[in-house]
Amino acid sequence: KKRIQSLVEDERVSRFFDDGWKVLSEREILLPTGKRERPDRVMIDERETIVMDYKFGEKKQHKYKDRVKEYLKHIKQMGYPEPKGIIWYVNQMEFVKVSI
């Protein structure tokens, strides 16, 4: 519990865990193909929408970036404002920005 608390209080991520966001965790996105995708965390405010995918193991950036780009593409099609993506490698405390 202390580890998680210290992670979300870190200045690099604390803004994503404040009360200013409408948060959708593990919500399904139904794709036109009938396939369902489930981003880890989607944060929405009046200016932007951020998709955050958590990773706890090794980096496989290309694969993960492609998946987040797909999430962003569909979220944009749904009309959410300014979709942006972040892959958070939690154990390494590293962040990769993703855009479409």
pLDDT digits (tens, 9 = 90+) for 12-56: 889 988 899 999 998 898 877 888 989 999 999 999 999 999 998
Residue-wise pLDDT for 53-79, tens only, equals 999 887 777 889 999 999 999 999 999
| Tokens coding 61 | 């950036």
How much is the pLDDT for 34?
86
Q: How far apart are CA 100 and CA 73, in angstroms?
A: 7
| pTM for this entry | 0.86
Grouping H, G, I as helix, E, B as strand and the rest as coil, residue 55 is strand
Q: How far apart are CA 87 and CA 96, in angstroms?
A: 5
Burial of 9 (0-12, 13-18, 19+ CB in 10 A): exposed
Q: How far apart are CA 82 and CA 84, in angstroms?
A: 6
How much is the pLDDT for 1?
82
| Tokens coding 13 | 């991520």
Q: How far apart are CA 28 and CA 35, in angstroms?
A: 10
